């Protein structure tokens, strides 16, 4: 059986950077180390870090109980209000927000200062989008579809800026841009879809088109992995979504001669390699 592993599978730059920061703190013997939310959407990595003493803050109420140690902001970033609240705890703050997300925070901040409406193409419930929303003082909307973009309650001649959640689907962003341009008079678009996401999605689509079966590896809550799975499903009906090798049902692959493997931005290489090796042996 031929097994094709996407070159872009696994940790992206921002996730790798955030995980490395936590590992550096552990190495340096810093105690206690907290992360605001799980550092990445991967249970195995989070559990391993927990064994090394890294604790996860799961709510603002929990944050209020902290008065010492080091708090790491993960690659998704947080709203400004929350960052200030962290700083007020007295703990040391290590900001591992991905620089590409930070760039969107700056755009949001400037939009607010200039009285412009900010529109984010993204999932309003996703922490990254909530973080971006929290950096503007002005009006902000999150839209997920071109229809939503076409019906934005933005009054002319108010101007608006459109950005995207870094993991947003590039094609979907393009269709939102079209509608946005039709409905907003003074518009400004900044394509903030991360190239890591774009490359991963394009490579995944290309592989899924040529294989008999496709395996997508990633955390259940990882939105970028969920998107990869949607892309695979559209190109290859024999696609499955797993977190680790344990979830893999090999039956659908036994008659396949060519299997593709891709993985979300928070999937460690060790898990990808384990799955690839297992499938090669089938």
* Catalytically annotated residues: 128
Gyration radius from the chain CA atoms? 20
Among candidate residues 173, 112, 121, 172, the one with its CA nearest the CA of residue 142: 121
The tally of CA atoms less than 13 A away on the side-chain side of residue 135 is 22
Give dist(CA 275, CA 35) in Å, integer: 29
How many residues bind ligand F3S (CB under 6 A)? The answer is 14
Q: Does 165 bind ligand F3S (CB under 6 A)?
A: no
Backbone torsions φ then ψ of 40, nearest 5 degrees: -145, 165
Among candidate residues 265, 207, 263, the one with its CA nearest the CA of residue 236: 207
Give dist(CA 268, CA 217) in Å, integer: 10
Task: Between 89 and 197, name the residue whose CB sits nearer to ligand F3S.
Answer: 197
Q: Does 130 bind ligand F3S (CB under 6 A)?
A: no
Q: Which two tokens stand for residue 31?
A: 């105690």
Q: Considering only residues 42, 117, 166, 225, which one is a binding residue for ligand F3S as defined by CB under 6 A?
A: 166
Task: Between 184 and 228, name the residue whose CB sits nearer to ligand F3S.
Answer: 228
Interactions with ligand F3S, residue window 18-77 (CB under 6 A): 75
Q: Does 121 bind ligand F3S (CB under 6 A)?
A: no
Look up residue 154 and give its DSSP letter: P
Q: Does 265 bind ligand F3S (CB under 6 A)?
A: yes
Alpha-carbon distance values, 254 to 179, 207, 212, 249 (Å): 45, 19, 10, 10
Q: Considering only residues 19, 49, 98, 142, which one is a binding residue for ligand F3S as defined by CB under 6 A?
A: 98
Q: How far is the CB of 49 from ligand F3S (least distance, A)?
A: 17
Q: Considering only residues 96, 164, 196, 242, which one is a binding residue for ligand F3S as defined by CB under 6 A?
A: 196
Q: Considering only residues 10, 14, 38, 122, which one is a binding residue for ligand F3S as defined by CB under 6 A?
A: 14
Site of interaction with ligand F3S (CB under 6 A)? 12-15, 75, 98, 100-101, 166-167, 194, 196-197, 265
């Amino acid at each position: 059986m031929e097994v094709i592993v996407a070159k872009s599978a696994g940790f992206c730059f921002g996730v790798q950077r955030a995980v490395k920061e936590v590992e550096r703190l552990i190495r340096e013997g810093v105690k206690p180390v907290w992360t605001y939310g799980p550092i990445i959407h991967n249970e195995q990595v989070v559990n391993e870090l927990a064994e090394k003493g890294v604790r996860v803050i799961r709510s603002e109420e929990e944050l209020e109980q902290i008065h010492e140690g080091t708090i790491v902001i993960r690659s998704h970033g947080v709203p400004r209000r929350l960052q200030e609240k962290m700083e007020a705890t007295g703990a040391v703050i290590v900001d591992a927000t991905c620089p590409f997300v930070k760039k969107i925070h700056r755009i949001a901040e400037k939009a607010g200062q200039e009285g412009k409406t900010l529109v984010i193409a993204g999932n309003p419930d996703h922490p990254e989008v909530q973080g971006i929303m929290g950096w503007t003082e002005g009006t902000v909307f999150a839209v997920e579809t071109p229809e939503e973009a076409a019906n934005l309650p933005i009054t002319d001649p108010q101007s608006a800026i459109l950005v995207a959640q870094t993991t947003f689907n590039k094609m979907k962003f393009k269709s939102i841009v079209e509608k946005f341009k039709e409905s907003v008079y003074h518009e400004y678009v900044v394509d903030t879809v991360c190239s890591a996401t774009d490359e991963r999605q394009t490579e995944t689509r290309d592989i899924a088109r040529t294989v008999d079966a496709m395996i997508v590896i990633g955390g259940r809550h990882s939105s970028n992995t969920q998107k990869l799975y949607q892309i695979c499903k559209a190109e290859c009906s024999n696609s499955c979504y797993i977190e680790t090798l344990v979830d893999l049902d090999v039956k659908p692959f036994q008659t396949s001669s060519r299997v593709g493997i891709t993985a979300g931005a928070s999937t460690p290489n060790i898990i990808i390699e384990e799955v690839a090796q297992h499938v090669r042996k089938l």
